[in-house]
Amino acid sequence: MPSSTSPLAWLLDAVATDVRGLLAAEELPATWFERTDADQGLFGPGSSTWLVHRSRAGLIGGLRALLLQTLHPVAMAGVAEHSDYRSDPWGRLRRTGAFIAVTTYGTTEAAERAIAGVRRAHERVTGVTPDGVPYEANDPELLAWVHGTEVDSFLRAFQRYGGRPLSPDQADAYVREMAEVGSRLGVVDAPTSRDELRAYLRSVRPELRAERQAREAVRFLLAPPLPVYLRPAYGVLTAAAVGLLPRFARLELRLPTPPLADPLVVRPAARALLGALGWAMGPPAHGAGRDDGPRPER
């Protein structure tokens, strides 16, 4: 450690470097982000999607989505049997970050290529749940569940931790814009407003429950293999994600939170941590092609 660097600053730099290595999106060709006036990608610089996805509140939103998704037994069976989340959890996060970066900030062609790649990968994900229910990842109903939980989670995380919340019209625009990605992935009648999204999530509620595979996945998500000095920061992010879950989900997953702990302890800590990461992590490894707006920071 250089003598001119304080121990706290050195620790922050070390934590930021490791967090970047764990969560930064995969390196992608710069040409994928070379938008033009004729092709601003699926959304463009003025979109709500650009605004939401450039925020590091997405770290919390992504964890919240993963926790919530475990409650769908059929979707969880596909993850348990086909995902490498135990052997390579951070690789999965980096691939997810790359997909979000390309579909948000890339050219239309690059976004379509990324979506086609996910569709091809899903073709290999088929099987039978422990209860004997056959599944396939490209099933529109399963795609709708994953899509709906992700949109809801990223939006809620941004509204609480992203700085200035979106206006009602901007929030509806985010859901509508993300429906474009959902539809291209195979979602049928993807929600196009917050009201439609809430109605969809209510409709699927009777199918949700925490079974053995869900509880195992949640235990892993809350305590993945991490260096000791990174665990407190990760614990803040997971506590913030749990605080954003609906009450029924917290109860089903056995994740109770003490009264007032979320507003008085978790939220201030999470905002401080995201602020520190925003300073320490710096700009993304790949840009959006032109310096005309937000860049992918996930």
Neighbours of 90 (CB within 10 A): 15
The verdict on residue 115 lying in a domain is no
Domain residue limits at 166: 15-22+42-90+123-280
Residue 185's beta-bridge partner residues?
A: none
The verdict on residue 51 lying in a domain is yes
The verdict on residue 101 lying in a domain is no
The verdict on residue 102 lying in a domain is no
Report which residue type is found at 164.
R
Q: Helices 267-280 and 231-244, interaxial angle, to 10°?
A: 130
The verdict on residue 100 lying in a domain is no
- The owner of tokens 């003490």 is 258
Number of domains in the chain: 1
SS3 letters across the chain: CCCCCCHHHHHHHHHHHHHHHHHCCCCCCHHHHCCCCCCCCCCCCCCHHHHHHCCCCHHHHHHHHHHHHCCCHHHHHHHHHHCCCCCCHHHHHHHHHHHHHHHHHCCHHHHHHHHHHHHHHHHCCEEECCCCCEEECCCHHHHHHHHHHHHHHHHHHHHHHCCCCCCHHHHHHHHHHHHHHHHHHCCCCCCCCHHHHHHHHHHHHHHCCCCHHHHHHHHHHHCCCCCHHHHHHHHHHHHHHHHHCCHHHHHHCCCCCCCCHHHHHHHHHHHHHHHHHHHHCCCCCCCCCCCCCCCCCC
Please tell me the predicted confidence (pLDDT) of residue 10.
56
The verdict on residue 245 lying in a domain is yes
The verdict on residue 198 lying in a domain is yes
- The owner of tokens 């930021």 is 16
The verdict on residue 272 lying in a domain is yes
CA 34-41-26 angle, to 5 degrees, is 65
* pLDDT tens series, the chain, 298 aa: 444 455 555 555 566 556 655 655 567 788 889 999 999 999 999 999 999 999 989 989 999 999 999 999 999 999 999 887 777 777 777 788 889 989 999 999 999 999 999 999 999 999 999 989 999 999 999 999 999 999 999 999 999 999 999 999 999 999 999 999 999 999 999 999 999 999 999 999 999 999 999 999 999 999 998 888 888 889 999 999 999 999 999 999 999 888 889 999 999 999 988 887 765 544 344 443 443 333 333 3
